[in-house]
Structure 1
Amino acid sequence: MDAVNVSDHAAVAFLDLAGFTALTAVRGDQEAADLAEQFAALTTAALGPDDRLVKTLGDGLLLTSPTAPSALALVRRVIELCTHTNRFPVLRGGIHYGPIVQRHNDIYGHTVNLAARVAEAAVNGQILLTQEVAAAARDEGLTVTEGGPTRFRNITAPVDVFALDLDCLCPRVDPVCRVLLQPGTAATTIRYQDLDYDFCSPECAQLFDASPQIYADAIKCAADGP
C-alpha cells in the first residue's frame, strides 16, 4: 500500500472560469481548451513558495496553500492576473481550511469535498469562504458578507458561508461568451431593459439580440448573492 501523508492543515481552493460552457459553445472547443491552458499558466505564475497547483479539472483548478491568509493572497493574485488579461472570463470559486490526506500528487478528504461544494455555489465573479477563512479575511482587512448556514450535497451539517467582497465586474462581462471586457474594447453595445450590455464580437451581440432574456438572466452578478 502506498504511504499516506496527512498534513496538519491546509487551505484548499477551487477556482474555475464562470460561463465556460457558454464560451465553448460560442468560440469552439479549440479556443476554449487554449483558454483553460492559459488559466493554468496564469495561476502557476501567481503561486507563492508554499502554494501548489494540485491539478487541473477542465476549466477548473484545485489549489492548496498552507494557511487561510496565504490562500486568500493567492486567489487575489490569480484574480488580478486574469482581470488584466484581455477578454478573459471572470472567475468564481471557494476556499475551505482543514486537514487533508495526500497520496502521490493528489489530495483527499472532507476539506477537499467541502471546498468543492462551496465553489459550486459561487456565482459569476464570486469567491465563497467557510468560517475560518472568512475570519482570516477579516483579520487581513478584507470585507466579507455573511451568507448564513447553507446545506450542500453530501455534506451532513449546514455550513456557514461568506462571500469575499470584490469589485463587481459583471457589467463589463459579455453576457453570451462571458469574457471580461476591458474599458473601451467592446465591439458593440445593446441596451435591454434599461441596462447596457457590451459584447466582444458582432456574433455574440447577434445571439443576445435573438434571446435577450436568456442571456440577461444567465449573467447574474455576484452582488445579487449565491
Structure 2
Amino acid sequence: MEENIAILIADLSGYTALTEAHGATSAADLIDKYVSIVEDCLIGSSVLKERTGDEVMIVAECADHLLTTAVMIMKNTSSEHNFLQVHGGLHYGTVLKRNNSYFGSTINLTARIAAEANPGSFLCSVDFIEALNDKSICTFQSKGAYRFKNVNEEKEVAEIVNAATNLLAIDPICKMLILDKTLAIQHPEKADLFFCSQTCLDIFDKYQSVNPNIDR
C-alpha cells in the first residue's frame, strides 16, 4: 500500500568522537537520553518509527506535526549541557508500506538530505515545505539546489533556522555542547576553547603536542 508521509531522519554529530573519548558506557547513556528527548518531542501524528544506533526515523501523516517535532528536538537537545548536536533532514513523498515498514526512494532521499546537514541544523526539501499548511512555524533559509547520489534531478533544499546553536561552545574532542562555561574547563592558553572534562583537555593537549599546527 502506497501513501504520502512526512519523514524526518536525524542523528547525533560527533557520536564516534564521543565514544572514543568517553567510552561505550557514556555513549550508551547519551543515546538513552537522546531517545528520551525525541520521544518527549513527538507532536500530533509524529511517530518514532525506527532507531539504529544514534539515528532515528520519525514519520507523520501531517508535515506540520513533523516540523514542530523537529523544532522541538533542536530546541531540547541544544538546551542539554554536555550533550551532542543533532543534524537531520526532512522530506515529504510517497512510500510503500508493508508489514508496518516503509520502503521507497522517499526514505533514501531523506537520508541523503540529513547527511548534508551541518551539526546543529536540519535541512528540508521544497517538497516538504510545500506540504506544510502553516509555513510560519519557523523560518527557512534557502540553501540552493543539491545533487544527491542516485537521484536524477537536483533538489532544492532549505535550512530550518536555529540561531541559538550559534551561541554555544562545543568541546573540540568529544563534540559535547557546553551551555554553562562556568562549569566547563577552559584551556589555559586558548581562551575560546572549553572542555566538558579534564580528560578531553588532556586529549586535546596530547594531540596538539604531536600535531602543533592542527586544530581539532
**Into which bin does the TM-score normalised by the smaller protein fall?**
0.7 to 0.9
Distance 1:57 1:154 in 2: 23
Number of residue pairs matched? Answer: 208
**Aligned-residue identity in percent:** 27
**Matches of 2:215 and 2:153, distance apart in 1:** 34
Cα distance in structure 1, aligned partners of 2:71 and 2:144? 23
| 2:10 aligned counterpart, secondary structure | strand
Q: Distance in 1 between matches of 2:54 and 2:91?
A: 20
SS of the residue 1:116 aligns to:
helix
Query: TM-score if structure 2 supplies the norm length?
Result: 0.87
Write the mapping of 1:172-211 to structure 2, written as runs, cut at 5 A. 172-190=169-187, 192=190, 196-211=192-207
Q: What corresponds to 1:68 in structure 2?
A: 63
- Counterpart residue identity of residue 44, structure 1: E
Aligned partners of 1:12 and 1:64 also within 8 Å = yes
Aligned-pair RMSD on alpha carbons? 2.0
The residue that corresponds to 1:20 in the other structure is 15
Q: Shift of residue 137 of structure 1?
A: 9.2
Task: Report how far residue 158 of structure 1 moved.
Answer: 1.2
Give, in whole Å, the separation in 1 of the partners of 2:56 and 2:94.
Answer: 19
Question: What is the match of residue 158 of structure 1?
Answer: 154
Matched, 1:98 2:93: yes
Gaps of 5+ in 2: 209-213
After superposition, the Cα gap between the structure-2 partners of 1:61 and 1:210, relative to the gap in structure 1 and judged at 3 Å, is same
Question: Residue 46 in 1 paired to residue 41 in 2?
Answer: yes
Q: Which residue of the partner structure matches residue 221 of structure 1?
A: none
Q: 1:129 to 1:137 in 2, by over 3 A?
A: farther
Secondary structure of 2:192's counterpart equals: strand
Cα deviation, 1:24-51, whole Å, max 9, x if unaligned, reads 1011112212211221122112212411
Change (3 A) 1:211 1:65: same
Mapped to 1, the partners of 2:121 and 2:111 lie a distance apart of 14
Please, what TM-score do these two structures have when normalized by structure 1? 0.84
Structure 1 position 207, deviation (Å)? 2.0
Output the CA distance in 1 between the equivalents of 2:120 and 2:182.
20
Could you say which residue in structure 2 is the equivalent of 1:223? none
Give the match for residue 149 of structure 1: 145
Please name the residue that 2:211 is paired with. none
Residue of structure 1 in register with 2:123 after alignment: 128
In structure 1, distance between residues paired with 2:185 and 2:32: 28
Task: State which of 85, 110, 121 in structure 1 corresponds to 2:80.
Answer: 85
Q: Against the structure 1 CA distance between its residues 196 and 134, is the aligned structure 2 distance closer, same or farther, given a 3 Å change threshold?
A: farther
Alpha-carbon deviation of 1:75? Answer: 0.8
Q: Residue 138 of structure 1: CA displacement? A: 7.8
